Amino acid sequence: MSNSDRRISLVTGANKGIGLEVARQLGKAGHRVLLGARDETRGREAAKTLQAEGVDVRVVAIDLTDPGSLAAAAADIGAHEGRLDVLVNNAAIALQNDGLPGTVDLHVVRQIFETNFFGTVAVTQALLPLLKKSTSGRIVNVSSGLGSITFNNDPDWDYAAVKLLGYNGSKAALNMFTVLLAAELKDHGIKVNAADPGYTATDLNGHSGHQTIPEGAAEAIRLALLPDDGPTGGFFNSDGAEPW
C-alpha cells in the first residue's frame, strides 16, 4: 500500500489504556496512526512502544480543553498528512468527587463535561474539514453503558447503583452528539458511531474492571474499520447494538 493510499487515523488519549490498544490495532491493520496525547512526553514513550512493534505512528500533542492545542493539531495534520480518515474520540476523565445529582459539586460535573463532552465536540469540529477530505471517513466516540438512559432507568441493570451525574451525564450527551453528527454527515461518506468498551480494567476505574484492555478496545476498533456498507448513528458494544 502506497503512502497516499494508507488510511490515516487519529486516536485521542492514546498514550495508555484503551486508546493505546486502539492505536496499536489500527496500526497493525495498516493505518498510519497519529497518537493523540495531552502529555507529549508520555505520548512519545507510547509511540516508541508501538514503533518497536512495527506500527507507523507519530505523536500529535492535543489537549481537548485547550482551543489553541486543537487548532495547532488540525494545522499539523493538515500540513503533514493532508487529510484524516479515522477519528477515535477516546480521551475522557472520571473524577472521584462525582456523585448523585442532588448533592454533587457542580464544579466537578463541569470539569467532566469539559473534557468528555465539550472537548470531544471541539476536537471533532476542529478536524472535520480534514475528515471531509477522506473518501470514507469514520468517527468513533468511545462512550459507556453508563451513558444509556435506558440502562440507568432499569433497577435490575448490573450497574444500576452507579449514579454519577458528571460521568453518566457526559456520556449520555456524547451519545446525542453521535446521533446528531451522524445525521449531519450522512451525505459526506462519514460514518459516526458510539462504542461502549464495557467494564474494562483501566486507570479510569482504578483497574477494577473485569475485562482486559484488548477486550475493551475491540468494539472501537471494529467501528473504526467499518466497511462502506456498515452502520452509522449507532451505539454498540461487543455483543451488538445497545439501547440509548
- Cβ atoms of residues 115 and 92 within 8 Å: yes
- Cβ atoms of residues 87 and 136 within 8 Å: no
Cite the DSSP H helix spans in the chain: 17-28, 40-52, 67-80, 106-113, 120-131, 149-152, 165-185, 213-224
The predicted structure's pLDDT at residue 2: 45
| Average pLDDT along the chain, 244 residues, taken 10 residues at a time | 76 96 97 97 96 97 97 98 98 96 98 98 98 97 97 96 97 98 96 89 59 88 97 96 96
The predicted structure's pLDDT at residue 214: 84
pTM of the predicted structure, to 2 decimals: 0.94
In one-letter notation, the amino acid at residue 100 is L
C-alpha to C-alpha distances, 124 to 64, 129, 200, nearest whole angstrom: 10, 9, 25
- Annotated active-site residue in 113, 117, 167, 199: 167
Residue 167 annotated to the active site: yes
